[in-house]
Structure 1
Amino acid sequence: MRMVFRCDPALSDHLPRPIPARSALPDWLRAMPAKAHSEIHGREIRTVKQCPPFVDAMAYGVQILLPCDVAVTSGSFSWAWDIPEPLTSGHPRAPLSFHVPAQFPDTPFAKAGQAAIKFNSFWTIELEPGWSLFATHPVNRDDLPFRLISGLVDSDRFHDGGINFPAIWTQPDFSGVLPKGTPVAQCFAVPRAAPQLEFECFDEVHKTAYSSTVADVLASPGVYRKRFRARRGRLTSPGSD
């Protein structure tokens, strides 16, 4: 699977490149202890830092990064980003634009009179035939002051225009700077072919396997990680080792 990112040549030296999500894990996860005391259990228990499904979801796919610092004050957004004029007609220069409230009436995330922000894309994304790009909020990142609205784009066909990423600003009292390099969208390549769904009851083999697996998981830590977790391939780019 290849994901091809392209940008305007005048901006190439000014844009942070999309990066493997694994290299953008947040500081709070890195600083989290592996174990913490539980009053309910009366002992030390493992934290989510030792939960492979939790961490792997955050580490999978590619993160799209904010290209410059954005200052936020009382719901007002501003930036000072000195970049050359793009060489491509119709190309954006601003890191943000907006969707007016009338574009998403009666949705669960609509808030009275509040526009949605839109993280403008400075990269086009091309996938291999039969694959689509699923873009969603950076996984488990409720610490970010916005919530991305998920979308699916057939990027094997639509790859000559940028994909913009709409989001709802969720912290109205936030004042400060959203720094350059903040992950704004986590993207996954997904196959477009619909799966064939099959339904079965456990036979004796599956009942035995279920009971054995559950007993092993409850008996000792790390069973999933040691026996079932697949090795993750490292995302590469041309010239990588």
Structure 2
Amino acid sequence: MRMIFRCDPRLAEHLPRPFPARTALPDWLRAMPAKAHSEIHDRDIRTVKQCPPFVDAMAYGVMIPLPCDIRVEHGAFAWDWDIPEPATQGHPRAPLSFHPVAQFAGAPFANGQAALKFNSFWTIELEPGWSLFATHPVNRDDLPFRLISGLVDADRFHDGGINFPAVWTQPDFAGVLPKGTPVAQCFAVPREAPELVFEAFDDAHREAYAKVVGEVLAAPNVYRKHFRAKRGRLVT
């Protein structure tokens, strides 16, 4: 699988590149202890830092970074970004634009407010039969916005930028959203629908279920040691 990112030639030296999500795990996860005391259990228990599915979801795919610092003051957004005039007609220069409230009429996440739009400065091309799923960076509720998920057939639509709408979730935020902040986490997903098959356990599956559950309850790290697949590194 190849993901091809292209940008305007005049901006190539000014844009941070999309990067593997595994390289952008947040500081709060790195600082989290491996174990913490549980009052309910009256002992130390493992935290989600030791949960491979939790961490692997955060580390999967590619992050789209914010191209410059954004200053935020009680709902007002400003930036100073000195870049050349793009060589491509119709290409954006501003890192942000907006969707009016009417575009999300009745949507529970909108809360009656306009949505941000993180403008795209990279086009993304995937191989035939694959689509691009873009969503909020996984488990990143620390970010002061919430991306609105979308699915784009990027094997066909790859000559224009994919913009990323988001709802600002911290109205009292005052500060800087720094350049390089992950604004979208993207995965290549096959477009062909799976065949859904439903079965009741037979004897072999019941025995296997009991065996696996027993092992998981008896010792830590069973999934990590015996079931977790080795993940290849993204090649750039």
Smaller-chain TM-score range?
over 0.9
Residue segments in structure 1 that go unaligned for 5+ positions in a row: none
Counterpart of 1:26? 26
Instruction: Give the corresponding residue for 1:124.
Output: 123
1:181 maps to which residue? 180
Does 2:2 match 1:2? yes
Question: Structure 1 residue 57 and structure 2 residue 57: aligned?
Answer: yes
User: In structure 1, the residue corresponding to 2:208 is in which secondary structure?
Assistant: helix
3-state SS, counterpart of residue 213 of structure 2: helix
**Equivalent residue letter for 2:167:** I
Partner of 1:144: 143
Deviations 1:101-146 (A, max 9, x none): 011100111222x110000000000000000000000000000000
Tell me how far apart the structure 1 counterparts of residues 110 and 226 of structure 2 sit (CA, whole Å): 44
Shift of 1:176: 0.4
Task: Please give the residue correspondences for 1:5-154 in structure 2 after superposition, counting only pairs within 5 Å.
Answer: 5-112=5-112, 114-154=113-153
Distance across 2 between alignment mates of 1:109 and 1:221: 38
Coordinate RMSD, CA, aligned: 0.4
Paired amino acid for 1:193: E
2:215 equivalent in structure 1: 216
Aligned to 1:9, the other structure's residue is in SS state coil
Question: Which amino acid letter does the alignment assign opposite residue 224 of structure 2?
Answer: R
**Residue identity in the other structure for 1:158:** F
Q: Give the paired residue count.
A: 236
The CA deviation string for residues 124-177 of structure 1, in whole angstroms up to 9 with x for no partner, is 000000000000000000000000000000000000000000000000000000
Instruction: Give 3-state SS (helix, strand or coil) of 2:10's partner.
Output: helix
**Structure 2 Cα separation of the partners of residues 109 and 203 of structure 1:** 43
- CA distance, structure 2, for counterparts of residue 79 and residue 235 of structure 1: 32
Q: TM-score, normalised by structure 1?
A: 0.97
Return the alpha-carbon distance in structure 2 between the equivalents of residues 106 and 144 of structure 1.
Answer: 24
TM-score, normalisation: structure 2: 0.99
* Cα distance per residue 1:175-204 (max 9 Å; x no partner): 000000000000000000000000000000
Question: Deviations for 1:193-233, whole angstroms, at most 9, x for unmatched residues?
Answer: 00000000000000000000000001000000000000000
Question: Distance in 2 between the 1:38 and 1:15 partners?
Answer: 45
Specify the code of the residue in structure 1 equivalent to 2:204: V
Question: 2:219 & 2:106 partners in 1: Cα distance?
Answer: 48
CA positional deviation for 1:80: 0.2
Match of 1:45, SS state, is: strand
Following the alignment from structure 2 to structure 1, what is the Cα–Cα distance between the partners of residues 74 and 193? 45
CA distance in 2, matches of 1:53, 1:91: 39
Q: Percent identity?
A: 79
C-alpha distance in structure 2 between counterparts of 1:102 and 1:40, whole Å: 47
Match of 1:93, as an amino acid? R
